[in-house]
Amino acid sequence: AEVVGVLGQSGSLKVEVEKLVAAAGVPVAFLPAALAQVTAFSQDIAAEGLKDPNRKDITHIPLVTIDGEDAKDFDDAVHVEPHGQRVTLTVAIADVSHYVAPGTPLDADASQRGTSVYFPRRVIPMLPHALSDDLCSLRPHVPRLCMVAQMEFAQGACVPDKTHFFAGLMRSRARLTYTRVHEAASAGLTALPEAPGFDLGAALELYKRLRKGRQRGEARR
């Protein structure tokens, strides 16, 4: 036998995680060709997005992300806008497909992993950090490419009667947490100073409506 590396003191969290990674054969290093592919991507996201005439500029919509306090990447954002008796829900997710095309080294690496792998205090991402933590992370106040679903609800409805899907260019207004939103809701707030333009009251009203509709559906089943 030959010692190829020393993980550290057995029993520590770091070493136990390393043992799991090694035992399961979780891929950690990315292909050099995949990393080279990432470095070739444009950092001017706004210009990149506007190259495509079919991509819609929605940077005027005050979308926000809502995640846990420890979240490292932010891949979906929401906004709710009431107008008259109707309400529009906009959901935007990071447009990973713009960067990971079929048959490319990035696609091969991602296919081998299948998903990101989460351990206590460590994440082994499906995509290189330059994508998972940056270009494909909907961080606040920076333009990002996204795929969008816009859903229109009639008064009191739990199912949208109009839905539009399209590629978009967005800019998140704030990185909110579940704790912050829960505290604001408990305090009766309808807006948050750190998220200008985001209608918290309308979002909570629609959330309660959709949750009630889902519970009714589950009860019928």
pLDDT over 70 (residue 220): no
Tell me the average pLDDT across 30-49.
92
Determine if the pTM surpasses 0.75: yes
Q: Within its chain, how far is the Cα of 102 from the centroid?
A: 21
Number of C-beta neighbours around residue 51 at 10 A: 8
pLDDT over 90 (residue 221): no
Q: Are the CB atoms for 87 and 153 separated by under 8 Å?
A: yes
pLDDT in tens, 43-71: 899 998 888 999 999 999 999 999 998 88
pLDDT over 80 (residue 143): yes
Tell me the average pLDDT across 183-211.
94
Between 116 and 72, the higher pLDDT residue: 116
